[in-house]
Amino acid sequence: MDYAKLETVMRRLALEAGDRIMEIYNSDDFGVKTKSDASPVTEADEAADALISAGLREAFPDLPLITEEQAATHSESASTFLIVDPLDGTKEFVNRRGDFTVNIALVEDGIPTRGVVYAPARDRMFYTRTDGTAVEEAAPFDRDAPGAQTELRVSAADNDALMIVASKSHRDQATDDYIAKYAAKDMTSAGSSLKFCLIASGEADLYPRLGRTMEWDTAAGHAVVAGAGGRVLHFETLEPLTYGKEGFANPFFIAASPSVTLKPA
């Protein structure tokens, strides 16, 4: 795999998709439809998907591509593939809350190894470099020339005073009950894959997700967390979360710094 080419292409496509998304986000009105699973989809999802898919297929024609917005790709079966959520956090987008991201990732042998998470409304971009380490690039962003980068490392957690991040739109009692097992210094909430990025940057120690997610929701953030020295684990078994599962549905999971002493489910 040409990881240098992949880094360049993923970063550029994320920025291009982010620009298109923000054009629609800042317009007076945009259409919202409902998919068969009752989740919302907007013209921004579709425009970003078309842009990213075309770019990835041109650059990497031999790699399978799975995207949230193209149902025909969901019947693919592979252990190594590209996977895209062109607009993660559509509810945040529709409600104009800003916590939405562009997610592009490479999965190799069932493990996300490279990825980019771009939050255009927040001017934050996180991605893996050629060597697999994770960075946050400082705004403003130039599509053709990376700017200043800060290498990301997960926290050295204090298990008596943890910073915990949870979903902004999908918080439930089961999540609160699990969080209550820990000694928390503070809690924060975030939408979309930004929760993974808060783990990767050391801004949070623990992110439990007890709810439905799909692999395109998590792969890019998972790669960034891993590149920062973190881990993403199956909630019940505490084994590494794997990808390429039938239907691309995830089990419940935990993303955390390795210094967090995890509690049983």
**Structure confidence at residue 188 (pLDDT):** 87
* Residue the block writes with tokens 């909630």: 235
Taking only the tens place, the pLDDT of each residue in 177-217 is 999 999 999 988 887 799 999 999 999 999 999 988 999 99
Share of the chain above pLDDT 70, in %: 95
**pTM score, two decimals?**
0.94
CA angle 79, 124, 5 (to 5 degrees): 45
The beta-strand segments (E) located in 155-245 are 162-167, 184-190, 206-209, 231-234
Instruction: With cut-offs at 50, 70 and 90, classify the pLDDT of residue 74.
Output: confident
Instruction: With cut-offs at 50, 70 and 90, classify the pLDDT of residue 38.
Output: low
Taking only the tens place, the pLDDT of each residue in 7-27 is 999 999 999 999 999 999 988
Is residue 175 over pLDDT 70?
yes
The beta-strand segments (E) located in the chain are 32-34, 40-42, 65-67, 81-88, 101-108, 111-119, 124-128, 134-137, 149-151, 162-167, 184-190, 206-209, 231-234, 253-256
Is the CB of residue 41 less than 8 Å from the CB of residue 35? yes
Segment 162-177 shows an average pLDDT of 85
Is residue 33 over pLDDT 80?
no
Which positions ≥6 away from 2 have C-beta within 8 Å?
Answer: none
Q: Where are the domains of the chain?
A: 3-151, 162-256
Whole-number mean pLDDT of the chain? 92
Cα–Cα distance between 99 and 119 in angstroms, integer? Answer: 7
Is the CB of residue 188 less than 8 Å from the CB of residue 198? yes
**Which of the two residues, 156 and 188, has the higher pLDDT score?**
156
Is residue 129 over pLDDT 80?
yes
Segment 66-76 shows an average pLDDT of 84
Q: Per CATH, is 3-151 categorized as 3.30.70.20?
A: no
Question: Residue 81: phi, psi to the nearest 5?
Answer: -165, 165
Query: Poorest-confidence range of 31-45, 99-113, 171-185?
Result: 31-45
Find the largest Cα–Cα distance for the chain: 50
**Structure confidence at residue 70 (pLDDT):** 86
Cα–Cα distance between 89 and 75 in angstroms, integer? Answer: 23
Is residue 92 over pLDDT 80?
yes
User: What DSSP assignment string belongs to 25-90?
Assistant: HTSS---EEE-TTS-EEEHHHHHHHHHHHHHHHHH-TTS-EEETT-GGGGG---SSEEEEEEEE-H
Q: Per CATH, is 162-256 categorized as 3.40.190.80?
A: yes
Annotated binding site for substrate: 68, 87-90, 217
Annotated binding site for Mg(2+): 68, 85, 87-88, 217
